[in-house]
Amino acid sequence: MKKRSRVAATSPAKPRGAVLVTGTSSGIGKAIVEELAEAGFTIFATVRNEADLSAVETLHARVHGILLDVTDRESVAKAAQTVEGSATPLEGVVNNAGIAIGGPLEYLPLDELRRQLEVNVIGSLAVTQAFLPQLRAAHGRVIFIGSVAGRIAVPFIGPYSASKFALRAVADALRIELGPTGVHVSLIEPGSVRTPIWRKGRETRATLEERLGTEGAAHYGDALRAVMRQTEQEERIGMPPQRVARAVLRALTSRRPRAHYMLGAPARIGAILSLLPASLHDRFMRASMRLKR
């Protein structure tokens, strides 16, 4: 018997439409760009500076870098015009750009909370609004990258959790509103992921400690150190960002995309925890993050 030919497995992917992906300089965004480009999509990969622009365009021949600040209205409009001028129809938008701000809420500058929500929530919706006319024409897809932190409030990363809770509400409402138009909306909800987002947060530790002062450190110092250790561990043992990228590909190509893609045991545990009484939820969170009662 002849062996089955493996040409199909190694031949270039059939060209597909275009997808815009935000926040692609590293981590999950970079993995999404690579996964979708290999699958045949033309990728418009957004970054915030020129250095990252050059780097992202080396990932694949089908990748085109775009400078974009999701919090800048003119920047978003310019990006939409650039994509609209392309010969390839836009079939998807992946809202991945985000930041993570932590620290005890008692000492959080409110401008930091505003910045967290501006990037993760308002910025994602601003991008979606700008590209919806193109997506509607192609019956395309909108993908939001959420988190298990959008299911359960995590202590000392309250701003980040708040943004992901809000993003889940935006995704759910938008999915229902756009249903009659043929534009599908999906939310990817991973648990722990090996990504530099928390490393960037830890680099501001000195600033955080200065903000707390002696009194704040007495109240929260031990707990904050425990949370820092937890995030360091999650960065080591979390799922690879490629797993998130594969879920994005499924959401873009499935005939019947899901509303939510929950990835990993922590995400499923988070969904269960959200249904528990507050006393049990709090006890579990303290134990898992090694916080004193």
Active-site residues, by number, are 160
Residues with Cβ within 8 Å of residue 76, at least 6 apart in sequence:
68, 69, 70, 126, 127, 130
Is the distance from CB of 263 to CB of 244 less than 8 angstroms? yes
Strands 42-47, 260-263: pairing kind: unpaired
Q: What angle do CA 37, 42, 44 make, to 5 degrees?
A: 100
Complete DSSP assignment for 119-185: IIIIHHHHHHHHHHHHHHHHT-EEEEE--GGGTSPPTT-HHHHHHHHHHHHHHHHHHHHHGGGT-EE
Nearest CA-CA partner of 22 in 128, 94, 116, 100? 94
